[in-house]
Amino acid sequence: MDETSRASQAAHHAPPQGFIRNYIFSLDHKIIGKQYYGLALLAVLTGMVLSWLMRIHLVWPNSPVPGLKWLAHTSAPNGVITPEYYLSLMTMHGTLMVFFVLTNAPFAAFGNYFLPIQIGAEDMAFPRFNMMSFWMTFLAFCVLMAALFVGDGPPISGWTAYPPLSAVGAVAGPGQGTGQTLWGLSIAIFCIASLLGSLNFISTTLDLRARGMTLMRMPLSTWAWFITACIALLAFAVLLPACGLLILDRLAGTSFFVPANLVVSDQIQPHSGGSPLLWQHLFWFFGHPEVYIAIVPAMGIVSHILINAMRRPMLSHKVIIYSLMSLGFLSYMVWGHHMFVSGMNPLSSLMFSFPTLVITIPSTILTLIWIGSLYGCKLRITSASLFALGFVSLFVSGGVSGFFLAQPSIDVLLHATYFVVGHFHLVMGVAAIFGVFAATYFWFPKMFGRMMNERLGKIHFWLTFVGAYLIFMPFHYLGMAGNVRRYSAFVNDYLQPLLPVHRFITIAALATGAAQIIFLYNLIHSRFRGEPAPQNPWEATSLEWTVPSPPPWDNFAGKIPVVYHDPYQYGVKGATGDYVMQDSPQKIPTVPEEGRR
Amino acid sequence: MADTMIEAGVSFLAAQIILAVFIWWFSTSKPGQKIRNFPGGARGLVAAAIVLVGLEVLALGVFGQKAWANIYFTPPGPNAMPIQVQAGQFAFYFRYPGPDGKFGPIHPELINEATQNIFGLDLDHDQDSKDDIVTAQMAVPVNREIHLLMHAKDVGHSFYVRELRIQQDFVPGLDLSLHFTATTPGKYEIVCTQLCGLGHYNMKAYLLVMSQADFENWLKQQAAMQ
Amino acid sequence: MATTVHEPPRVRPRKLPSRKQGTGSGGGGWRDRTPSDGSFLAVGDRSTASKTGVWVGLAAITMSFAALTSALVVRQGSAADWQHVTLPRVLYLNTLVLVASSFTLEFARRRFSRLAFLGSGEATASPLRWLYVTLSLGLLFVGGQYAAWLQLKSQGLYLATTPSSSFFYVLTAVHALHVLGGLGGLIYVSSKLRRSALRKNTLDAASHYWHFMDILWLYLFLLLWVKL
């Protein structure tokens, strides 16, 4: 091999050779996508078990949990969860779910796998960055898991890690030592990984589209990943320095966030003049866009799947794209709505309240387009489309409660109560997870070359859908009754009548969690024993269905497609059936539908 | 709150029902059936969303702003009674200025739970501190405006009384204040809503709202216990 | 736009560089847009991913420094413990060095494009020499920043001494890290150039990044000068 051809291979990778290059340190975006999916699965299972432990502790505080004695013998003596261990579970649950599940699964996992294929590229623009991005995420995960098992207690300051509690160190009680430092380190590593990933997504979308793949011809899922990458790039770029400053406050004795004259455990702290609100501003400047990092990909995926199930394009392709863009843009102007009672200038509360309410406009437009497009369609009910429809329902349910929280005068009552917990679990957590489920049922055949079991999929949907409502709807009631969140026990007089509601929620959570075994079984069983999947099982139009299932290592086996059509040519008389593939040079004789503006 | 409740409830129910009906309706399509478009198409829906939601946003924004401005943009009246509250891991303590109406300064280095010097008062040197009354419960006279001066000792906390619809964070290093008037006598719970450590769930105090006469008696008793 | 009717692809058909059979890379598209025969004629390619990537990365870096700047402003206003720090003298010299390195990099780029235009694969020495000068100036800058830290240290100003010294160390250290990254990029570029396998876009991307570090430093210097 001469110098130059080696150089050209250094720029873009050759077919992988050997097990390690193939499956572990792979440069292939498809393997990296699957790795992200696997990591998200691991994280979601861990996070779910942690939430079970929390729910059990809230309802049966003194009963030992089998096996916990060995897992956490200092934090949970004899398997009975201590108040500080409850807070650790809560911190870990939040961090795992927000970062390692809601950021990784809909965005990094499916985006990595399908964005290059959907735009007709052979790989990401920077495969090496891509590999680095996954392995740094994995490292961040390991560091976070280490924080759960350190000797002086896992971190307890929540996924928001407000200083001074998170910054003054071990003097502030258990969980504020090594565990909290590891938490900050893990998040900082995660930030770098996400920045690399977003950079890759943006460059790939802008530069590696196949011929004829104009921006407006990109599928909605690709659009959503692209917009999400833009949001993530700017959001994580702010969280990273914030984490750095927090770690310096903890380890180097600086005073960025810790003010003077704090008396913790009767000792004056050696800090001076820092601003706890500064962390809140930096954190929520990242934190609110993070919500959209979770939900925008799910919106794109759901649109993509719904269109396929409805056998018609959305009423308007462009309006969806512009709505997603405005969501992304507005998400940067509303961070202060997390801080209405934080002591921020009350005028700023109003300034932040208005754009928060305005965000409902693009959200409503999206919802109306989804529901309006259902009118007069030929809906195919599959597991994937059920989860996509479930997403719309959950998004509405979680969205309307945002009305309450967006107004500072009402937020004063509901802030930091279970109302908020119910709101964000529905609209960000469960809705985005439904997007992930829909994506899994839809794309599994392409990823693994085998079909998933539809019957089990539908059972899984109904159990999860009903379960999610049973768990999270009562949260709103609890919140309105003033039930404060992040309490490891309810000792207040006025909370006693609410305990039966908590018991109900715990039982619903355990049952709904158990129902996920059906999904896991379906996933593993179908991976090895499922029906072999054809190239295009859903009669879909976008480029990922023009290649074999699973695709070859360079996606298109050397033949980069040329794109002739908009992504969703359904409801037209095609060569086979009612659709025309994006790369089909076939002419489409008439405009079948109005409204494709 | 009620307006928001109605608007949210209506839009919630409408959206869910229409979604369900459409799924029901169009999932059982006959072969050969033509695909139809929603009357008005995307343009109609977008216009509807912008007009309806826009009006709603404007209305909520204006109402909300009024309610907010009433609490936060008006300073406490000249007759408001000052009470200081200090939040620390994991208890609230309250301080009344006593007959002189002045709070003595806080000396953080003197704060000591063992000697019960909760606020770090220097009784030997500060004249203003001598008649200050420190309590573990908060009593206020009914229908009297209270000016609550908030001080955090260690980490972030929050002051939340569900019945009074007030919630305000304690920010260390930043002395905030709050004013409110309790109108119904009774015993309410003050709870912490900002995660402050392992005892967070147990951080609470009682707010006693009583008549002016009862309040004066109560304050005398407390003063005697200092 | 009625894109439902058949129409040809909207992207102007690109002239792909001629592909040699049997080079192993098969497909079309970006994979073949590297000079396959060492000739710089093919260097004027259109694969712009590296350039886009650098711009996207610079957006993220800008955001990070914007966050740090706002942190500095908020922190300065939050308490009365802000102390004036006299900037070490060596910073003026460092600034000159970094600005000079931008010029030398531009010299290298000019000479490289002339080379590409002439299409000769041999005379890489001239741009390479300027690249080495840039590299050494960059190293000198990082060394100079280290000297500045030593100067502050000798005044008894450590990371945690005052908020202003904290910000000085944090901002200069984060910037120096990014400069080190830029040095890595330049080393990559010069090794490519030595093997006559450098694409113009790679050099452009590396130099955009480098110039940005230069501008970023001027901004930081001004910020520190005004605020500390």
pLDDT tens-digit series, residues A419-428:
999 999 999 9
Q: Is A374 within 8 Å of B36 when comparing Cβ atoms?
A: no
- Nearest by CB to B156, from A274, A276, A481: name it: A276
Which residues on B lie below 8 Å from A281 (Cβ)?
none
Q: Do B104 and B5 have their domain in common?
A: no
- Going by the DSSP 8-state scheme, the letter that residue C124 receives in this structure is -
- Percent of chain A scoring above 90 in pLDDT: 75
Domain check: are B123 and B211 in the same one?
yes
| Separation CA A588–CA A28 (nearest Å) | 35
* Residue linked to tokens 């939050």: C78
Are the Cβ atoms of C81 and A254 closer than 8 angstroms? no
pLDDT band at B84 (very low <50, low <70, confident <90, very high): very high
Has residue C14 got a pLDDT over 80? Answer: no
Q: Find all residues with CB under 8 Å of B18, minimum gap 6, and list them.
A: A371
Cβ-Cβ contacts under 8 Å, A274 against chain B: 173
Q: Do A276 and B46 touch (CB under 8 A)?
A: no
State the pLDDT at residue A315: 92
What would the pLDDT profile of C144-197 be if each residue is shown by its tens digit?
999 999 999 999 999 999 999 999 999 999 999 999 999 999 999 999 888 888
Q: Using CB atoms, which residue from C13, C34, C160 is nearest to A252? A: C160
Domains held by chain B: number: 2
What is the pLDDT at residue C41?
36
Give yes or no: residues B100 and B185 share one domain: yes
Res. A45 pLDDT band, cuts 50 70 90: very high
What subunits touch chain B, counting only 3 or more CB pairs under 8 A? A
**Higher pLDDT among residues A452 and B125, named by residue:** A452
Q: To the nearest whole angstrom, how far is the Cα of C60 from the nearest Cα of chain A?
A: 5
Find the largest Cα–Cα distance for chain A.
81
Listed ranges A169-183, A210-224, A340-354; the one with the highest mean pLDDT = A210-224
Q: Is A100:A36 a contact under the CB 8 Å cutoff?
A: no
Q: Is A186 helix (H, G, I), strand (E, B) or coil?
A: helix
Does the beta-carbon distance from A255 to C160 stay under 8 Å?
A: yes
CB contact under 8 A, C4 and A272: no
Residue A255 has its nearest CB partner, among C3, C8, C163, at C163
What domains are defined for chain A?
26-258 (1.20.210.10), 341-532 (1.20.210.10), 541-597 (no CATH)
B1, B18, B61 member nearest A353 (Cβ): B61
Q: How confident is residue A13, by pLDDT bands cut at 50, 70 and 90?
A: low
| Residue B197: domain span | 81-225
Mean pLDDT of all residues in A347-353: 87
In this prediction, residue A326 carries a pLDDT of 96
Give whole-number Cα distances, C46 to A211, A213, A433, C38, in Å.
13, 16, 39, 17
Say whether both B64 and B149 belong to one domain: no
pLDDT grade for C22, boundaries at 50, 70 and 90 = very low
- Least trusted range by pLDDT, from A164-173, A276-285, A314-323: A164-173
Within 8 A of A122 by CB-CB distance, chain C residues are 27, 29-31
Interface predicted TM-score (ipTM) of this complex, two decimals = 0.93
Question: At residue C32, does pLDDT exceed 60?
Answer: no
**The domain C46-75+89-227: what is its CATH number?**
1.20.120.80
Taking an 8 Å cut-off on Cβ atoms, the answer to whether A208 and C160 are in contact is no
Q: Which of B31, B54, B74 is the last residue of a domain?
A: B74
In chain C, what residues touch A208 (CB-CB under 8 Å)? 29-30, 49
Quick one: which of A224, A362, A371, A367 has its CA closest to A310? A371
Instruction: Tell me the per-residue pLDDT of B102-132, one tens digit each, with 9 for 90 and over.
Output: 999 999 989 988 888 899 999 888 888 888 9
Over residues B89-97, the mean pLDDT reads: 94
Q: What is the pLDDT of residue B60?
A: 80
Q: Indicate whether A573 pLDDT > 80.
A: no
> Is B31 within a domain?
no
Compute the distance between CA of residue A13 and CA of residue A124 in angstroms, rounded to an integer. 11
At C118 the pLDDT is 57
d(CA A499, CA A478): 10
Which pTM was predicted? Answer: 0.92
Question: Across the strands, what pairs with B94?
Answer: B85, B135
Query: C touches which chains (3+ CB pairs under 8 A)?
Result: A
Please give, rounded to a whole number of angstroms, the shortest distance from the CA of A19 to a CA of chain B: 46
- Contact criterion met (CB < 8 Å) for A492 and B191: yes
Task: Please state, as a whole number, how many other Cβ atoms lie within 10 Å of the Cβ of residue B199.
Answer: 15
Q: How far apart are the first and last CA of chain C?
A: 56
Alpha-carbon distance A546 to A117, whole Å? 9
Residue B131 lies in a domain: yes
Determine the Cα–Cα distance for residues B218 and B213; give it in Å rounded to an integer.
9
Tell me how far apart the alpha carbons of residues A340 and A344 are, in angstroms, rounded to a whole number. 7
The answer on B199 and B135 residing in a single domain is yes
Residue of chain A whose Cα is closest to the Cα of B176: A343
Q: How far apart are CA B177 and CA B151, in angstroms?
A: 9
CB contact under 8 A, A377 and B35: yes
Average pLDDT, chain C: 80
Q: Are residues B87 and B187 in the same domain?
A: yes
Out of A62-71, A583-592, B57-66, least confident range: A583-592
Are residue B62 and residue B7 in the same domain, yes or no?
Answer: yes
Which tokens belong to A230? 């833009």
- Selecting from A487, A592, A594 the residue whose C-beta is nearest the C-beta of B41 gives A594
More confidently predicted of C18 and C56 = C56
Report the pLDDT value the prediction gives residue A21, as an integer from 0 to 100: 79
* Residue A590 Cα, gap to closest chain C Cα (Å): 7
Asked which of A181-185, A554-558, C69-73, C113-117 is least confident by mean pLDDT, the reply is C113-117
Give the residue from B27, B51, B74 where a domain finishes.
B74
What is the amino acid identity at position C120? Answer: S
Tokens representing B216 are 């004066």
**Residue C17 pLDDT > 70:** no
Q: Are strands A263-264 and B166-170 parallel, antiparallel or unpaired?
A: unpaired
Cβ <8 Å between A281 and C7:
no
Per CB-CB distance under 8 Å, the chain A contacts of B41 are 315-316, 594-595, 597
CA-based angle A503:A506:A510, to the nearest 5?
A: 145
- CA-nearest of B131, B133, B128 to B118 is B133
Q: Rounded distance, CA A446 to CA A457, Å?
A: 17
Same domain, B62 and B144: no
Cα separation values, B113 from A271, B89, B93, B118, Å: 21, 11, 12, 6
Residues of chain B contacting A356 with CB distance shorter than 8 Å: none
Residue B158 phi, psi dihedral angles, 5° rounding: -150, 150
C-alpha A283/C-alpha A162 separation (Å) is 9
* Same domain (yes/no): B93, B127: yes
Do B200 and B133 share a domain, yes or no? yes
Other beta carbons within 10 angstroms of residue A16's beta carbon come to: 16
Task: Verify whether the Cβ–Cβ distance A272 to C79 is below 8 Å.
Answer: yes
Rg (alpha carbons) of chain C, rounded to whole number: 23
Q: Give backbone dihedrals phi and psi of A502, rounded to 5 degrees, phi first.
A: -65, -40
Q: Distance (Å, rounded) from C-alpha A222 to C-alpha A447? A: 17
CB < 8 Å to C68, chain A:
241
Q: Measured between CB atoms, which of B37, B112, B166 is closest to A412?
A: B166
pLDDT, position A171: 87
Q: What is the H or E stretch that residue B152 is in?
A: strand B145-152
Computed over every residue of chain A, the mean pLDDT equals 91
Give the start-to-end residue ranges of the domains of chain C. Answer: 46-75+89-227
Helix/strand/coil (H/E/C) assignment for every residue in A93-139: HHHHHHHHHHHHHHHHHHHHHHHHHHHCCCCCCCHHHHHHHHHHHHH
| pLDDT the model gives residue B59 | 84
Q: Are A167 and A183 in contact (CB under 8 A)?
A: no
The pLDDT of residue C123 is: 65
Three-state DSSP state, C23: coil
CATH number of B179's domain: 2.60.40.420
pLDDT at A141: 97
- Work out the average pLDDT over A526-538: 95
Average pLDDT rounded to a whole number, residues C123-135:
87
Per the CB < 8 A criterion, the answer to whether A595 and A574 are in contact is no
pLDDT for res C20: 37
Taking alpha carbons only, the member of B129, B123, B148 closest to residue B205 is: B148
DSSP string for B62-121? HHHHHHHHHHHTSPPPTTPEEEEEEEETTEEEEEE-TTTT-PPPP-GGG-BTTTTBSS--
Q: Give B161→chain A minimum CA distance, Å.
A: 9
* pLDDT tens digits, C170-180: 999 999 999 99
Binary contact (C6, A248; C-beta < 8 A): no
Say if residue A107's pLDDT is above 90. yes
Alpha-carbon gap, residue A417 to A482, rounded angstroms: 6
Is A274 within 8 Å of C163 when comparing Cβ atoms? yes
Residues of chain C positioned with their CB less than 8 A from the CB of A282: 67, 70-71
DSSP C154: H
A529 burial level (CB within 10 Å; 0-12, 13-18, 19+)? exposed
Strands B204-210 and A579-580, by their bridges, are unpaired
Residue B95 and residue B57 share a domain: no
Measured distance CA(A223)–CA(A215) in Å, rounded: 8
Same-domain status, B68 and B130: no
Distance CA B196, CA B204 (A): 12
Yes or no, beta carbons of C166 and A254 under 8 Å apart = yes
Confidence band for C93, pLDDT divided at 50, 70 and 90: very high
Closest-CA residue of B relative to A480 is B162
- For residues A60, A64, A68, A72, the Cα torsion angle rounded to the nearest 10 degrees is 90
Residues in chain C, total: 228
Structure tokens at B116: 């019960």
Contact B222, B201 (CB under 8 A): no
Strands B81-88 and B145-152: parallel
Q: Cis check for the bond before A434: say yes or no (omega within 30 of 0).
A: no
pLDDT tens by residue, B173-224? 888 999 999 999 999 999 999 999 999 999 999 999 999 999 999 999 999 9
Chain A residues whose beta carbon lies within 8 Å of the beta carbon of residue C165? none
Q: Are C10 and A260 a contacting pair at CB < 8 A? A: no
